Structure 1
Amino acid sequence: MSLELLSLEALENLAHEYGYWVVFLGIMLENTGVPLPGETITLVGGFLAGSDELNYWLVLASATAGAVLGDNFGYWIGYFGGWPLLVRAGRVFRIEESRLLAVRTQFSENAARAVIFGRFLALLRIFAGPLAGIAQMPYPQFLLCNLIGALSWASVMVTLAFFVGKLIPLEQLVTIVGQFAVVALLLFCAAIALPIWLEHRANQELEG
């Protein structure tokens, strides 16, 4: 699929034609692990609801249901086959398995927060489900965190587009939200990577 087909204008046209199905399927596929612009799709749905072209509650329900279902698919994909794939990818990029294990351990310790708040972070929204499966996060805990995160994220995105979309152009809103998600991701990665780096440095000093 070309990038042109995923432009904001194209997404608006799809939402006009297929309505809630675009929101549901777009979010579901993104949360399964397919790199689709789910955040933008949700904002488009909320914007159209604010323009009285779609129903606010149905957009919210579609986004929430798609997020919950998609993350469940992603979780089981990660649980049953994600770790071997990650190890093979690590070999390609010359990342030692011990480093991957350290990252998995660090993610496991922050899994609940990652699943709930990861939806607000660029990329992590796509990979939180598979990573939770790879880390073998207990499924009941994942299910609860997944539902809380999906409802919180969908509520914020749809409501934001519903009201703010009346004040500023949709393109500007999408840009602002995207920039926030990238900054939040960088901060989250730093919070995970810094303890690993400090521990690695301390081990090197002891060995030295």
Structure 2
Amino acid sequence: MSFEFVSLETIREIAHQYGYWAVFVGIALENAGIPLPGETITLVGGFLAGSGELNYWFVLGSAIAGAILGDNFGYWLGKWGGWPLLLRLGKLFRIREEQLHEVKEQFRQNAARAVFLGRFVALLRIFAGPLAGIAQMPYWKFFLCNAAGATVWASVMVSLSYFVGNLISLEKLVAWVAQFAILALILVVAWFVIPMWLETRKANHL
């Protein structure tokens, strides 16, 4: 997920200039909870590897390491102070504490899948780590799911741009990946919101 004020050309220039560090830092900051275009930087890194400007394995290693480190930081941030912050945000947006507890419990029940698969979902990649910490997911379990998810996600992203980048334009590839991530987000939101809506509607009829 990227911002409109950061052009693809600018990201490509940053990746070209700083190479593996750009990939590592970009995805680490994004996974730590800072909404930076880490995914786009990773795709650009794979694209540059495909054109021979960077080494495929170093790009892949940088993406995996950045994703693991960033999510670990987000996890501890969520565990140490995420819940009080979430409660304050809930009051700001008029969300009842009971509803936040329900969301927290739902996430706890699906935490492993959320951490592993959340990297392919827009926004969830940014917030999966902090949410796992808020839900008090056991750290050893989080670490394993996080490392496995980071490896699979980075392998798909880097390999996709490395091989497919020679067949289609980088702009089109980034757009397709972003559309997939947004579609995945819509499905995840529906999965959480629809059961809560049905339960509220049922309670109102009793």
Identity, in percent, stands at 66
Task: Name the structure 2 match of 1:104.
Answer: 104
Q: Which position in structure 2 is the counterpart of 1:60?
A: 60
- Is 1:22–2:4 an aligned residue pair? no
1:33-77 per-position Cα deviation (integer Å, ceiling 9, x unaligned): 000011101100000000010000000000000000000000000
TM normalised by structure 2 equals 0.96
Query: Partner of 2:145 in structure 1?
Result: 145
Asked if 1:198 corresponds to 2:198, the answer is yes
* SS of the residue 1:160 aligns to: helix
Q: Secondary structure at the match of 2:86?
A: helix
TM-score computed with the length of structure 1 as normaliser: 0.95
Query: 1:44 maps to what in 2?
Result: 44
Name segments (4+ residues, structure 1) moved above 6 Å.
none
Match of 2:180 in 1: 180
Alpha-carbon shift at residue 3 of structure 1 (Å): 5.7
Q: Residues of 1 paired with 2:75 and 2:203: CA distance? A: 33
Residues 70-96 of structure 1, C-alpha deviations (whole Å, 9 max, x = no match): 000000000000011111011111111
TM-superposed CA distance for 1:204, in Å, is 2.2
Looking at structure 2, the residues matched to 141 and 201 of structure 1 have their Cα atoms a distance apart, in angstroms, of 35
Code of the residue aligned with 2:60 in structure 1: it is: L
1:122 alignment counterpart: 122
Aligned partner of 1:11 in structure 2 is 11
| Aligned mates of 2:171, 2:203 — CA distance in 1 | 48
SS at structure 1 position matched to 2:53: coil
In structure 2, runs of 5+ residues without a counterpart are none
Query: How far off its partner does 1:16 sit?
Result: 1.1
1:81 partner letter:
G
Residue aligning to 2:113: 113
Deviation at 1:192, TM superposition (A): 1.6
Letter in 2 for 1:103: V
SS in structure 2 of the partner of residue 69 of structure 1: helix
Tell me the number of residue pairs that the alignment of Structure 1 and Structure 2 aligns.
204
Q: What does the per-residue CA deviation read over 1:134-153, in whole Å, with 9 as the maximum and x for residues that have no partner?
A: 00101100000000100000
Tell me the residue number matched to 1:31. 31
